[in-house]
Structure 1
Amino acid sequence: MREFGYERVFDIPGAVALLGASPDARFLGGGTNLVDLMKAGVERPALLIDVTELPLDAVEFTQDGLRIGATVTNSDLAAHPEVRRHYPALAQAVLAGASGQLRNMATVGGNLLQRTRCGYFTDLSKPCNKRSPGSGCPALTGEHHNHAILGGSKHCVATHPSDMAVALAAFDAVISYETADGPGELPMTEFYLPVGDTPHVETALPPGALITGVTLPPAPVATHSRYRKVRERASYAFAIASIAAALEVQDGVVRDVRLAFGAVASRPWRARAAEQVLIGGQANAAAYAAAADAELAAAEALPENGYKVTLMRNLVVAVLTELTEEAPR
Structure 2
Amino acid sequence: MSLDEKATKPHDRLAEALAADMDQVNALIRERMASEHAPRIPEVTAHLIEAGGKRLRPMLTLAAARLCGYAGPYHVHLAATVEFIHTATLLHDDVVDESTQRRGRPTANLLWDNKSSVLVGDYLLARAFQLMTDTDNMRVLNILSNASAVIAEGEVLQLTAAQDLRTDESIYLQVIRGKTAALFSAATEVGAVIAAAPEDQVKALYDYGDSLGIAFQMADDLLDYGGSTVSIGKNVGDDFRERKLTLPVIKAVAKADAEERAFWSRVIEQGDQRDGDLDHALELMHRHGALEATRAEALGWSERARHALRLLPDQPLRGMLADLADYVVERVR
Give the structure-1-normalised TM-score. 0.31
Give the structure-2-normalised TM-score. 0.30
Q: Specify which structure has the higher proportion of strand.
A: 1
Q: Which has the higher contact order (CA 8 A, sep 6+)?
A: 2
Q: Specify which structure has the higher proportion of helix.
A: 2
